[in-house]
Structure formats: C-alpha cells, structure tokens
Structure 1
Amino acid sequence: MSRIRETELYAPVKAYLEAQGYLVKGEVGAADVVARRGQEEPVIVELKTGFSLQLLQQAVARQRITDLVYVAVPRWTGKAGWRTFKGNVGLCKRLGVGVLSVDGASGAVKAHADPAPFTPRKSKRHRAALLREFERREGDPNEGGMMRETIVTAYRQDAIRCAAFLAENGPSRGRDVKAATGVAQATTLMRDNHYGWFEKLDIGVYGLGNAGKSALAESKGS
C-alpha cells in the first residue's frame, strides 16, 4: 500500500471532529486543522505522516494558542510499529498533547490520548533498584553510553571477587568465600553461575572454571 499523504488525513479527522459537533476548517494560521464548538476552547490538530521531532515541536508551539492540541498520524502496521507508536503516545502524554491515529484503508480515526496535564508516576521499585546498584558498585568502571553487554555491574564485581578468591585459594566452601570477600550472597552467586564461571565440586564447595579464569584475567587487564 502506498504511503498516505498528509492531505489524506484531513478528511477523516474533519469527519471525526464534526461528528462531535465541531465546526472544522483546515490551514488556519499556522495550524493544519482548527475546530470550534460554540464558545469552547478551540481544538488544533497537526497532521503528519509519522511521528517526528518536528511534529512534537509544532504541537508544543500550538499550546501557546490552546490547551487542546492533538497530533494525527497514520495507523501503525505490525507489532514493531505498535511498540513504536505506543512509545510515542507516552511521550505525547508527557507533553500534554493528544494523539489520533487514522486508518488509511477505512478512514477510521481513533483517539489514543487526549490533551491533559501530565503528572508522571514514580516507580519506587525501579528507583530502589537504581539506587541499590549505585551504592553497591565500586568506583566508576563504565563510561556513559557503553553497550549494555560490556557494562560492569555490582553483581559482576561481586562475581569477580569470588573468582579472584577461588583463583588464589582453590576450591572453597561458599561460607569461606563470603567471609573472605565480603560478598554476602557468595554461595547463591556461585550456585546460580550466571556467567558460567564457577563449578560445583561438592555440596557447598565451588571451584573456578576456565571461563572464570579467562574473565578474571580480562578484568585485571582492563
């Protein structure tokens, strides 16, 4: 299906607003669409073939005229399109901008968000996890912007401490590793073996495998 043009969004959006009792006109001043219903605050809709920084900038600029600003874009296609669209709806909510989608085949218009002041809900769980990682991590081993796979976390630092102890002392009981390294969850960490570094040799006894030796050498060289 060919890409829908901005002008093809106008008729469905106009019909959608007219069905709600609005008088609608296109290209009024700097706005793509302006709608009035009696003496109520005017509604402005900016039309675009997709989300972009320019579209959001235009919508925010229109908020100097009215609080009732929407953006209208073609309906997404596929799961990836929906994920991207959903993320953009969340961004628009934070900006206090409404979102309309237009189905290019049927012309159906759906409102996914209405203009409203936004108060973000803080996640106590995510905040606690972030601060816990910050406090547990030793030093500043990562440069901001690194690939996630190479980031040294507090968990990895604990694993390296356990590996270093085993490399120096040989197979050991988890409680001995804990006492020597200060890693409170040493036994659990070695049992879970997230990185594949450790080998369980007996009940509660762990040794360092080849992968652990290589990782330990790399950590000393970095």
Structure 2
Amino acid sequence: MARVAETDLYAPVKAFLEAQGFEVKAEVAGIDVMACGGDGTPPVIVELKAGFSLALLHQACERLALSDHVYVCVPRQTGRASWKALKANVRLCRRLGIGVMTVRLRDGLVEVHADPGPYAPRKAPRKTARLLRDFARLRGDPNTGGTRGQVMTPYRQDAVTIATHLSVSGASKGADVAGATGVPNATRVMADNHYGWFVRIRTGIYDLTDDGRAAITDRTPAQ
C-alpha cells in the first residue's frame, strides 16, 4: 500500500470547502488550507496530516490564535482499531476546541466528525458515584500509581481478605465470614468465585480451593 501524503488530502478538502461557498488557497503563511467566505468572518483553517500526532494538535492549538474555525484533517482508515482510535482523537480535539475532518482517499469523501468551538463534556454521575464507592471501599493504599501489573481493586481486596480468613478458620458460613472480615458481601464474593479461590462445601458454607491457598501463600511475605 502506497504511503499517504498530506498533499493527497488537499484536493478533496478544497472541493469540500468550495462547495460551501468558500474561496480556498493552500500554504498561506505556512497554513495548509485556508478558506475565506468573503463576509468578514474569520477564515477556516485546516491542517493536513497523514495521521494524528501530538505535533498536529500543537499546531492546531497555535492556529486558534488566528481563527476560531480550526480543523485537523487526516485520512480515514478502516478497521475496528482505527475507528476506536479516531473516536478517542475526536473526543480530545473537541475538548481543545478543534474540529476534525477525515478524507476517504478511494473516492475523496470528506467527513466532518467535530466542529470547532467551546465544548463541555457531559458528566457521568453514575460513574462518578461508582468511582467514589471504589475509593471508599479500598482499604489503605495498596497500589502504586502508574503500575502495569496486577492492580488491587476493592473487589480483589475483599476476596483476599476472605481467603486469608478461610485459610486460618477453615470452612465457614458466609455470614460468619462477613462478620469476621467486615466484608458485607462475603457470601456473594465466595458464590461468584470470580478468581476460582472458593468452593461451596454445602449450602451457605465455603472453603478455599487449592488456587485460593496458593494465592494467599504467594501474598505471604517470606519469613
């Protein structure tokens, strides 16, 4: 597949803007595409690139000092991963007040994914509430910020606490485990058995599996 050049994007973008009544010129004072409507409004500025990069975003932010109507334009890629990456970049550009265009090179189709302008992302109260619950549930500060290893979530911390209790007390009733460990949903954690650490001996009574004992042993500091 031939490498895409920025110049491959120019003709489709020029035609797209001209169809909306703009006069379009390239490389005006270093700007890739500049379009004027002739009515005294600020020009439309489009920066062309073969792909998203931090340098492209820096450049577009600088152009905001010249006009409120600044777009970045990249080739439209195919595939699920490319679409996911595009959506993430569009969200970022919206927060920066930058518009986003793509060009489908096989037929020159230009698509506008976001227009420039002030943007306030919608809040997600349920996600915020869940985040606060996880913060409150997490006992102590068991993780290191930036880690790429096994993260200790509140759920996993509860499971470790329950497994540690069973390793000492042996098979126990769910209610007894909840009372002893302070994990109110202990029975549910053992019944769900997300990590394969627990086994139901009989109704309401659980014990550790070999995997559960190994998990606790792995977490026990050497003497």
The TM-score bracket by the shorter chain reads over 0.9
- Mapped to 1, the partners of 2:218 and 2:143 lie a distance apart of 15
Q: What is residue 186 of structure 1 aligned with on the other side? A: 186
2: CA distance, partners of 1:143 / 1:33? 46
Runs of 4+ in 1 over 6 A off after TM superposition: none
SS at structure 2 position matched to 1:211: helix
Residue 221 of structure 1: how far off its partner (Å): 2.4
Which residue pairs with 2:20 in the alignment?
20
Shift of 1:200: 0.3
- Report the Cα distance in structure 2 between the residues aligned to 1:156 and 1:30, rounded to whole angstroms: 54
Instruction: Trace 1:204-215 onto structure 2 (pairs within 5 A).
Output: 204-215=204-215
Name the counterpart of 1:6.
6
Deviations along 1:167-198, one digit per CA (max 9) or x if unpaired, are: 11111110111111111001111000111100
1:4/1:104 contact within 8 Å kept: no
Instruction: State the secondary structure of the residue aligned to 2:220.
Output: helix
- State the partner residue of 1:128: 129
The structural deviation recorded for 1:147 is 2.0
**Aligned-pair CA distance for 1:72:** 0.9
Q: For 1:45-56, list aligned pairs within 5 A.
A: 45-56=46-57
- Per the alignment, residue 145 of structure 1 pairs with 146
Q: Distance in 2 between matches of 1:21 and 1:79?
A: 35
Counterparts of 2:162 and 2:109, CA distance in 1: 60
For residues 190 and 89 of structure 1, what CA distance do their matches in structure 2 show?
A: 42
2:32 alignment partner AA: D
* Structure 2 residue matching 1:221: 3-state secondary structure: coil
- Whether 1:97 and 2:98 are equivalent positions in the alignment is yes
Residue 44 (structure 1) aligned with residue 25 (structure 2): no
- Which has the higher mean CA deviation after the structures are superposed, 156-165 or 88-97? 156-165
Map Cα deviations across residues 122-144 of structure 1 (whole Å, 9 max, x no partner).
11122112211111111111111
Provide the C-alpha distance between the structure 2 equivalents of 1:220 and 1:82, rounded to a whole number of angstroms.
45
State the 1:13 CA deviation. 0.5
Q: Distance in 1 between matches of 2:75 and 2:172?
A: 62
| In 2, Cα distance between equivalents of 1:131 and 1:53 | 32
Separation (CA, whole Å) in 2 of partners of 1:5 and 1:169 = 68
- Superposition map of 1:136-175 within 5 A: 136-147=137-148, 150-175=150-175
Please report the TM-score for the alignment, with normalisation by the length of structure 2.
Answer: 0.95
Q: Give the letter for the 1:24 counterpart.
A: V
For residues 118-167 of structure 1, the C-alpha deviation after alignment (integer angstroms, 9 at most, x for no partner) is: 1011111221122111111111111111125x111121121122112211
How far has the Cα of 1:6 moved from its partner? 0.7
Q: Which deviates more from structure 2 when the two are superposed, residues 89-98 or residues 121-130?
A: 121-130
SS at match of 1:54: helix
Supply the distance in 1 between the matched residues of 2:30 and 2:2 (Cα, whole angstroms). 28
Q: TM-score, with normalisation over the residues of structure 1?
A: 0.96
- How far is 1:51 from its partner? 0.5
Q: When the two structures are aligned, how many residues end up with a matched partner? A: 221
